[in-house]
Amino acid sequence: MSISLPICPCQINPSSDDISAPLLYQDCCQPYHDGLLNNEADKIDGAKPDSAERLMRTRYSAFVLVVPEYIIKTTLPSQQNLLDIQAIESWAKETDWAGLEIVAHTTKLGKHHAQVEFKAYFKTPEGLQAHHELSAFVKTKNKADNDASWYFLDPTVSMSVTQKQPCICGSGEKFKRCCGAYI
């Protein structure tokens, strides 16, 4: 007997005619979601995104599947307590998600950063629309396991940091020469 398993939300790209086999959720974003959420400390036991694009895809899938905890935990740690989990959850629920297109992935931007340009599609009564965004990501050490991880840099969070202060990502560089250049 075969059961049909769900395709990963990040594998649906309405702008492409490519019919190559899309990955199932269990073989795509699920190990990352489970790995980050199924443990108490900040330590990550399961799969950990090894690139900004991989992290971007798992964050998109977390929006579609309404896993706001994953969105919070993959944002830069110093920004996490400034996020509104309720607002993220309602926005994720109210949006009729329709797919993801990765437009470009700049894997190396300076020493610690990467950028992903993407379109997140959603349905509206007027038809298909997309959030077209350029997101910045930073690779920084996780205090719990002293292992470097990629994090999303949220440009909408206002932080009281001056250009000359040490960066919010913990790189030890001045903010303006580090994450300040991207948010």
Stretch near Zn ion under the rule CB under 5 A, chosen from 44-52, 79-87, 123-131, 161-169:
161-169
Phi, psi of 167 (to 5 degrees): -65, 150
> Min. distance of Cβ 1 from Zn ion in angstroms?
26
Beta strand extents in the chain (DSSP E only): 97-109, 113-124, 127-142, 147-153
Nearer to Zn ion, 18 or 126 (CB): 18
Q: Is residue 169 close enough to count as binding Zn ion by CB under 5 A?
A: yes
Q: Which of 67, 88, 171, 183 binds Zn ion (CB under 5 A)?
A: 171
For residues 24 and 178, give the distance between their C-alpha atoms in angstroms, rounded to a whole number: 37
Q: Is residue 167 close enough to count as binding Zn ion by CB under 5 A?
A: yes
For residues 9 and 100, the answer to whether their CB atoms sit within 8 Å is: yes
Strand partners, 148: 141
Crossing angle of the two packed helices 52-64 and 30-37, in degrees rounded to 10: 80
Q: Which of 28, 44, 64, 76 binds Zn ion (CB under 5 A)?
A: 28
Whole-angstrom CA distances from 151 to 65, 71, 94, 140 are: 20, 10, 25, 7
Q: Is residue 120 close enough to count as binding Zn ion by CB under 5 A?
A: no
Q: How many residues belong to the site for Zn ion (CB under 5 A)?
A: 11
Nearer to Zn ion, 86 or 156 (CB): 156
Nearer to Zn ion, 36 or 167 (CB): 167
The single-letter code of the amino acid at 96 is D
Q: Is residue 76 close enough to count as binding Zn ion by CB under 5 A?
A: no
Nearer to Zn ion, 1 or 19 (CB): 19
Contact positions vs Zn ion (CB under 5 A): 8, 10, 28-29, 57, 61, 167, 169, 171, 178-179
